[in-house]
Structure 1
Amino acid sequence: MSDRRRDPSVEEHEVEPNAAALIESLRDIGYTLSSALADIVDNSLTAKASTISIKVDTDPERAAIAILDNGTGMTRDEVLEAMRPGSRSPKETRDKSDLGRFGLGLKTASFSHCRRLTVLSRKGSSSFAATWDLDLVVERNAWIVETTSMTEGIRFAETLDGDGTLVLWEKLDRVGLEKDNKNFIRLMDEATRHMELVFHRFMKAEPGQKPVELDINGRQLIPVDPFAEWHDATIRQPEDRRVFGSGMVTIQAFILPHRNKVKTDREWSKMGLAEGHMRSQGFYLYRNRRLIRCATWFRLAPQHRLTQLARVRIDIGNESDADWQIDVLKASASPPPALREHLRRLIEGLGGRSKRVYRKRGAKLTDENPLPLWQRTKIGERIVYDLNEEHPSVANFSISLCDDQLRKFGSVMRMISASLPLEALYHDMADNFSSMEQNSLGEHELMDAGRELIDQLRSFGNEYREIEAVMKSIPPFSKDTEIVSRLIEEAQSK
């Protein structure tokens, strides 16, 4: 009982929300079709379903999406409660396997793409169905849910065999059906790829867990493992378990194999996921094994060429939702302040580890130049010169390229390396060594290149005195040490 004293001069009024206005507003929270379907699948997994089938009718005249599961099913009262907006408080303690939080997902995810939502559930010998029809809510301006214990007339109801639940979306008005069904089909393809990644740990047999079968129109979804654990050359670092805030956090880093250890382009592309290796590096945050955020360094570090093979799995439970600021869409999260510095140090260590994996095979012979643009290596009895793809200037340029451009750039670099005029160099050095010289950069070019190199070396954690010593010892900066000193002074004064 509240001990707040009532002020007799203050009146109380219960102000009910306008049904028509609020129900339309709930449609614009920000779901994509991919995230909306994933939210419905969450409910099926929470209900301990082992089989989840998505049925899609793309005919514009009768388009519909149905999500069926063989979970525990719901009683009449449970169905009605599930249809209530805000059915559970986000502060309520939930079962450890519960993938929900706000009591909004079923409704908001569905309303974001359809105007008619039906939930039919069977538990034991009884069935019960409830329907939200937004047109009826707007017409009556009232929170009206239609219910029935009959299954006749409910599409796909005949496929619900035994205990389980059917979620049916009809009156699809936000799936790109304005002209034809091509855009709808494209969005469903995107949703398929999204779920193969988001639920990959449910679809494969993890220790102590039975795999879940997930299909769309009968086509079995194939789990996509972003850590390439199936490849023998993947480096798995030990798990790091620690308590932060309200719960346990488990962190495990993976370094993917270098291209040289991957047999086929198809295998390499599979490891790169949909966005390619460069954009797929980073942290992968899982809440109860369900992927929440992927391929992000949480603004603790930029995506970099040297860390493109690094991916880190972070596991949290639903008791940590507030600490990680999990949103209603389950698409946004941020690490708690107490953990950020630990993650930043982890990234710095990964940069070095990933860099070592990414180096070409062979023993380096020259250490007097710590940043060689041309790298001299010995492979067996052969001595080979290659352009160094790990040189900061090369790596920094590579970051700006998409995967296709990066492949072409790599081909150009290999072409230049393979075209080094060794015979001409040999004869010229033997006959006219004293007259040989390298081209020089103009002062402005040297200054611009120097600023970029300093920024790169600083991002790796190097001190200015170390950077100055390195630059004064390597071409083209070694030819003008005065400019190097000016650049260092300029950088320190910023």
Structure 2
Amino acid sequence: INDREIEPWDPFLANESATQILQKTRLQMNGVEIEVEPFILPHHSKISKKKHDAAAGPHGWNAHQGFYVYRNQRLLVAGEWLGLGWAKEEHYKLARIRINLPNDLDHDWGIDVTKSRARPPIELKEELRAIGNHARSKAKRVYSYRGAKLTNQADVERVLLWESLAKHDKVFYRINREHPLLKQALTKSSDKPALNALLRLIEETVPFPNIAINNSENPNSAPSPFERVPDGQVTEVMEEAFESLVATGYSPGEAANRLRTIWPFELFPALIQSLVEQKSAR
């Protein structure tokens, strides 16, 4: 334009290795096929700042979450939840879902002559809502767990230190007493009541207001686990968890495999492998 080269915008970061491309769904309507493909974009720690800033789009990350509706390769809607019952929220900003429409469904999708808006027909809303729910759930996990790619198997086996509990329309966070490190600490403690009291105090004083304000004002300020921490210090914590697992009856091989499912050690596969080799050499 005006002799200036315009750089294209890829809202899906499809070529980034940390982007999760979920299963494509083909919906049928009036004998016509509609392709729906969800993308879970990477946590900001997984890509460069330049790419992260570019992927935000002209109106920012929150504004561009949701469905992207294309008609014959032309973008009509650049991030909307299409009236399916969701607001644009920080935790879901990494979810972007591409819908490819043919040009003979304009009336059904409420596409007017300006080709600038679209609304899904009622017969497709439940299927789109299911796809959206799945993508939003995945996006929230990546946002919350600082970019970890989660498989279905990992979801079942992962060990987290913090657990969420919904009660009376509120969400509470509790420390997982079955976490290997904590379980071992409780077993060895000479003053279990004091330790349990400390854990309960930590749970009851999670600084929700400060966290909410910080996330709102600077959503990318939260560090990843062990960010900028030397490998040696990460390994020290990891080794304690390994020994705790062995102490509870795991074989060294089983303990190593279990370690790979404990958050956030799963982010450091090379350190786990190095630790296992070190233990095997003894």
TM range (shorter): 0.5 to 0.7
Could you list the structure 1 runs, at least 4 aligned residues long, displaced by more than 6 angstroms after superposition. Answer: 385-389
1:69-468 mapped onto 2 (5 Å cutoff): 216-245=1-30, 247-264=32-49, 266-300=50-84, 301-360=86-145, 363-367=159-163, 371-372=171-172, 406-408=216-218, 411=221
What is the TM-score normalised by the length of structure 2? 0.56
Q: State the structure with more CA Rg.
A: 1
Give the direction of change, closer, same or farther, for the CA distance of 1:388–1:354 in structure 2 (3 Å limit).
farther
Q: Specify the SS of the correspondent of 2:108.
A: helix
AA aligned to 1:283 is F
Evaluate the alpha carbon distance shift between residue 238 and residue 406 of structure 1 in structure 2; reply closer, same or farther with a 3 A threshold.
Answer: same
**How far apart are 1:366 and its partner, in Å?**
4.2
For structure 2, the 5+ residue unaligned runs are 149-158, 182-201, 224-282
Residues 394 and 231 (structure 1), Cα distance of their counterparts in 2 relative to 1, 3 Å cut = farther
For 1:238 and 1:409, the matched residues in 2 are separated by 28
Partner in structure 1 of residue 244 of structure 2:
none
Instruction: In structure 1, list runs of 5 or more residues that go unmatched.
Output: 1-215, 415-494
Deviation at 1:254, TM superposition (A): 0.3
Larger displacement relative to structure 2 (353-362 or 277-286)? 353-362
Deviation readout 1:398-450 (Å, 9 max, x if unpaired): 7xx9xxx8343664x77xxxxxxxxxxxxxxxxxxxxxxxxxxxxxxxxxxxx
What is aligned with 2:253? Answer: none
Report the Cα distance in structure 1 between the residues aligned to 2:145 and 2:36, rounded to whole angstroms: 29
Distance in 1, Cα, partners of 2:131 & 2:98 = 12
Question: Secondary structure of 1:283's partner?
Answer: strand
Change (3 A) 1:410 1:357: closer
One-letter amino acid of the structure 2 residue matched with residue 224 of structure 1: W
- What is the percentage of aligned positions where both structures have the same residue? 30
CA distance in 2, matches of 1:334, 1:368: 35
| TM-score between the two structures when normalised by the length of structure 1 | 0.33
State the aligned residue count.
187
> How far off its partner does 1:360 sit?
2.9
* Structure 1 position 282, deviation (Å): 0.6
- SS across alignment from 1:270: helix
Change (3 A) 1:318 1:375: farther
2:175 and 2:145 map into 1 onto residues whose CA distance is: 10
Query: 2: CA distance between counterparts of 1:293 and 1:320?
Result: 15
The structure-2 alpha-carbon separation of the partners of 1:338 and 1:257, relative to structure 1 and needing over 3 Å to count, comes to same
Q: Secondary structure at the match of 1:257?
A: coil
